[in-house]
Amino acid sequence: MANSEYEYVKREFEFESRLPPSNWIVVRIDGCHFHRFSKIHTFEKPNDESALRLMNACATSMLEKFPDIVFAYGVSDEYSFVFREETEFYQRRESKILSLCVSYFTSMYVMKWKDFFPNKELKEPPYFDGRVVCYPNLKTIRDYLAWRQVDCHINNQYNTCFWLLVKSGKTEKEAQQALKGTFSKDKNELLLQQFQINYDDELAMFRKGSCVYRDKDLSFGKSISTFSEKLVTTLKKCSINLTGVSGREEKCRYEYVKKFDINHRIPPCNWTVVSINANQFEQFSLTHSFDKPNDETALRLMNASASLMLELFPDIVFGYGFSNEYSFVFQEKTELYQRQESLILSSCTSCFTSFYMMKWKDFFPNKDLVEPPHFEAELLCYPKQKIVCDYLSSRQAECHTSNQYNTCFWMLVKSGKSENEAHQILKGTLSKDKNELLFQQFQLNYNNEPAMFRKGSCTYRQKVEEYVEVEGSENITRERWDVIVEHVDLGMEFWRKRPYILSR
């Protein structure tokens, strides 16, 4: 299948945005809808110690996995990760760094859940959004972290008072009224007078948040880099503990820090595609002994996760996936996150990771998930519907090319050839040569292979009519949109027959 007619899609519309050199890179992630998530999982109010320890354990795993993260600071459902200023991680490609961080953190959160909540089932997929901010020097990094810690202090002091008032019999409204306009010292007074609580005696983790970094004295990371040393010593010296600060000057400083946060937005009337693919999948599929070249169950798990994405995000109108990748097309007028690129990219990647893990047991009841699956993603932007269709066709062409090659390759290997020999035999062969080889040597007609392997999977909504029984009167039909998965050619014919998909 000629891929050349779609080559322009990649050539002209795929850019890799790299973060400026010599800047500290901060990835800040934040739980999506954690107000609801904490309610469903009956987290203690205002602070759930296990939930916070789980966040800290995930952050620690992040530092173990990514050596260039030198410091992390977390509070409530958020965590900031600081990469050393000279990091060449993913050649500083923004979407790779962001998606991978958020996905790995999500994966650890799901993996470690039962260690921290042995008696609580994970009822809903946790997921996080994230953003990347660059800070040019130590001073701005320090101010950034101090800003987050001041936020922690303000929120925690307020919430501590609020929930004590509520627990003592006030309604939420009354508690709000009682706290309106109070200063930090008023709140401390209130705690002391009404509840005999000295705020400073509250757990430091609640009051100050949590810092994670490598320490020379600990076994964790013996070779602390000079970069992280510089940051940690500076932070220790200045102490990012700014509890009680509320002057005008400090406020200005935090307003300044916020200016570094540049939120790119997708231009209006453009189609957005989030393309997700598994990171270090070779290793992951080996560990979980997936069939080669295609593991049907693993592909069905990808499809199930994709279907859930369409259920959760109404603005995703189409998904196409094969092997370890899935692309999601958003309707052109989506207002998800006010079209902020990093939030769309990160929340999708995180959510997909979470779905994949939570559905794992349904598809592999006899296989434990022993390694965290994690995904990376990029966000693509196309001004015309035709280009979106060409993009999807190019992915399908890629599916065909790689699947045909892999089918031949593994047949040759299974028949006794070494991997090197198999590569040599296939070198320079055309599509029809491979079909011939399969037929001649293995009596296999490539076109009879399962369509899911050859064509990949299309996920979209389809209108179905439902008969509803109504007591005492005639039954009525109701329309419903169901998410379906098909393995078909994504040519002109497909879109002509289903015009509603892209022009809802």
Q: Which residues would be at the binding site for ligand GTP (CB under 6 A)?
A: 30-35, 38, 43-48, 51-52, 76-77
* Residue 40 or 252 with smaller CB distance to ligand GTP: 40
- Site for Mg ion (CB under 5 A): which residue of 34, 313, 328, 375? 34
Supply the minimum distance, in Å, between the C-beta of residue 49 and ligand GTP.
8
* Residue 163 or 281 with smaller CB distance to ligand GTP: 163
Contact 284, 384 (CB under 8 A): no
- Site for Mg ion (CB under 5 A): which residue of 6, 25, 27, 30? 30
76 binds, among ligand GTP, Mg ion, none (CB under 5 to 8 A by kind): ligand GTP
35 binds, among Mg ion, ligand GTP, none (CB under 5 to 8 A by kind): ligand GTP
User: Per the structure block, which two tokens stand in for 290?
Assistant: 């997936």
Contact 446, 404 (CB under 8 A): yes
43 binds, among Mg ion, ligand GTP, none (CB under 5 to 8 A by kind): ligand GTP
Determine the residue with CB nearest Mg ion.
31
**Angle, helix 296-312 to helix 341-363, in steps of 10 degrees:** 130
Q: Hey, how many other C-beta atoms are within 10 angstroms of the C-beta on 135? A: 20
With contacts defined by CB under 5 A, name the span among 69-77, 249-257, 384-392, 430-438 that binds Mg ion.
69-77
Bridge partners, residue 289, by sequence: none
Supply the minimum distance, in Å, between the C-beta of residue 353 and ligand GTP.
17
Supply the minimum distance, in Å, between the C-beta of residue 36 and Mg ion.
10
* Residue 90 or 127 with smaller CB distance to ligand GTP: 127
Residue whose entry in the numeric block shows the structure tokens 């065909």: 400
- Site for Mg ion (CB under 5 A): which residue of 31, 74, 209, 372? 31
Supply the minimum distance, in Å, between the C-beta of residue 172 and ligand GTP.
13
* Residue 27 or 437 with smaller CB distance to Mg ion: 27
Supply the minimum distance, in Å, between the C-beta of residue 316 and Mg ion.
21
Supply the minimum distance, in Å, between the C-beta of residue 130 and Mg ion.
11
- What gap in Å lies between CA 228 and CA 209, rounded to an integer? 20
CA distances from 436 to 125, 405, 422, 442, 445 (A): 46, 12, 15, 10, 9
* Residue 30 or 378 with smaller CB distance to ligand GTP: 30
* Residue 46 or 456 with smaller CB distance to ligand GTP: 46
190 binds, among ligand GTP, Mg ion, none (CB under 5 to 8 A by kind): none
**DSSP notation for 324-372:** TEEEEEEPTT--GGGGBHHHHHHHHHHHHHHHHHHHHHHH-TTS---S-
Supply the minimum distance, in Å, between the C-beta of residue 265 and ligand GTP.
17
* Residue 31 or 125 with smaller CB distance to ligand GTP: 31
Provide the H-helix boundaries in 117-183. 138-167, 172-179
Supply the minimum distance, in Å, between the C-beta of residue 34 and Mg ion.
4
3-state secondary structure of 207: helix
- What gap in Å lies between CA 338 and CA 124, rounded to an integer? 25
Helix, strand and coil content of the chain, in percent to the nearest 5, comes to: 50, 15, 30
Contact 487, 319 (CB under 8 A): no
- Site for Mg ion (CB under 5 A): which residue of 26, 66, 77, 87? 77
3-state secondary structure of 397: helix
Size of the site for Mg ion (CB under 5 A): 4
Instruction: Please give the DSSP secondary-structure letter assigned to residue 41.
Output: T
- What gap in Å lies between CA 32 and CA 126, rounded to an integer? 8
* Residue 128 or 453 with smaller CB distance to ligand GTP: 128
Closest among 272, 489, 490, 500 to 392, alpha carbons compared: 490
Residues at the contact surface with Mg ion, assessed by CB under 5 A: 30-31, 34, 77
